[in-house]
């Protein structure tokens, strides 16, 4: 599609913008609530409920990743964890009719402000070079250069990503380091750029815990709880990620185990830095425009 055929004032882009506006407000309010001794579950539910109050829907469960955790951690329904003197990453998403915005921020209570600053400044450097025709490998080079300059490493096996309709992760991938063969951004692309910085080696692996799932395929299931869960998933979340605690059926954990065994849903294990070191994160959602880009999740 040529640039002249893309209407950036079309309804889908306005919904991306509306989602971003809601998200910027919720991110700021949620970050302000993170203090030593405050409940993880209280903060996650505050953010998710606030999104709904403002006219959106959560695009995925609020991720609250602590210290060496990089992604995919959200509280369980009976989670009694509280914040300590830790590095906390909040990753929050909003959708309007399936059109998404995605953002993240590090709240540092650990006494390592430069690590949080490294991911924040890497994101700003990346945004500065975003325009039609830029290669995603060049964006990754900017991210890597800034994080290296702080004396840290980018997390190389996590990337930014495109945002589709009812799709949280789609092409193109946006690396957090220089790569030789990236994709070319075009007018109308909607992407989330999210640098991760660490004082470790720069890779993450999957842990064992899962509280976030998404639909893999629809299928017939006999078990009552599993069937009720699947009905809610397909009607309410579609292909977007959801939390175990969002399910309204009895024994949701058992229902999900049944659905997972049938490959109806798949889980997202918590991702942890290989060396057990700290991870910071910063993320914005961006629309590629004819003269550069528009950041939809900036503070208003």
DSSP 246: G
For residue 194, indicate whether it is catalytic. Answer: yes
72 is in an annotated binding site: yes
The residue annotated as part of the active site, out of 169, 186, 266, 275, is 169
Q: Can you give the pLDDT at residue 2?
A: 43
Spatial CB neighbours of 53, under 8 Å, sequence gap ≥ 6: none
- What are 98-150's pLDDT values in tens digits? 999 999 999 999 999 999 999 999 999 999 999 999 999 999 999 999 999 99
Q: Can you give the pLDDT at residue 6?
A: 83
| pTM of this structure | 0.95
The residue annotated as part of the active site, out of 194, 210, 211, 273, is 194
283 is in an annotated binding site: yes
The residue annotated as part of the active site, out of 161, 210, 273, 294, is 161
By percentage, how much of the chain surpasses pLDDT 70?
98
Say if residue 4's pLDDT is above 60: no
For residue 102, indicate whether it is catalytic. Answer: yes
91 is in an annotated binding site: yes
User: What are the structural domains of the chain?
Assistant: 3-206+276-295 (3.90.230.10), 209-270 (1.10.10.10)
For residue 274, indicate whether it is catalytic. Answer: no
Q: Whose CA is closest to 244, among 290, 198, 214, 212? A: 212
| 127 close to 174: Cβ distance less than 8 angstroms | no
- What are 274-283's pLDDT values in tens digits? 999 999 999 9
194 is in an annotated binding site: yes
- What are 215-229's pLDDT values in tens digits? 999 999 999 999 999
- What are 144-160's pLDDT values in tens digits? 999 999 999 999 999 99
Take residue 171 and report the two structure tokens written for it.
């092409």
For residue 91, indicate whether it is catalytic. Answer: yes
102 is in an annotated binding site: yes
Q: Can you give the pLDDT at residue 5?
A: 63
The residue annotated as part of the active site, out of 48, 91, 120, 189, is 91
SS (H, E, C) 96-158: ECCEEEEEEEEEECCCCHHHHHHHHHHHHHHHHHCCCCCEHHHHHHHHHHHHHHCCCEECCCC
DSSP 243: E
The residue annotated as part of the active site, out of 86, 283, 284, 294, is 283
């Amino acid at each position: 599609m040529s640039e002249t055929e893309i209407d950036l004032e079309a309804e889908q882009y306005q919904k991306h913008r509306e989602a971003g506006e809601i998200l910027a407000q919720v991110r700021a309010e949620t970050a302000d609530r993170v203090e030593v001794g405050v409940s993880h579950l209280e903060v996650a539910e505050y953010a998710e409920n606030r999104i709904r109050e403002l006219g959106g829907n959560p695009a995925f469960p609020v991720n609250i990743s602590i210290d060496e955790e990089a992604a995919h951690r959200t509280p369980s329904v009976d989670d009694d964890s509280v914040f300590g003197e830790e590095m906390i990453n909040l990753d929050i998403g909003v959708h309007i009719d399936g059109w998404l915005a995605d953002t993240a921020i590090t709240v540092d209570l650990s006494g390592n402000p430069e690590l949080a600053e490294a991911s924040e400044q890497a994101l700003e450097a990346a945004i500065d070079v975003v325009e039609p025709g830029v290669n995603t490998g060049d964006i990754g080079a900017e991210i890597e250069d800034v994080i290296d300059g702080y004396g840290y490493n980018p997390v190389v096996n996590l990337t930014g990503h495109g945002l589709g309709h009812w799709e949280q992760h789609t092409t193109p991938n946006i690396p957090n380091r220089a790569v030789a063969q990236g994709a070319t951004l075009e007018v109308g692309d909607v992407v989330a750029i999210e640098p991760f910085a660490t004082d470790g080696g720069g890779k993450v692996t999957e842990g064992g815990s899962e509280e976030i799932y998404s639909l893999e395929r629809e299928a017939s299931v006999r078990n009552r709880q599993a069937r009720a869960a699947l009905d809610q998933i397909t009607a309410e979340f579609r292909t977007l990620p959801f939390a175990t605690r969002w399910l309204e059926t009895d024994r949701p954990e058992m229902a999900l185990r049944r659905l997972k065994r049938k490959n109806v849903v798949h889980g997202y294990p918590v991702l942890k830095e290989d060396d057990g070191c700290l991870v910071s994160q910063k993320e914005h959602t961006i629309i590629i425009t004819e003269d550069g880009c528009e950041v939809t999740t900036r503070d208003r």
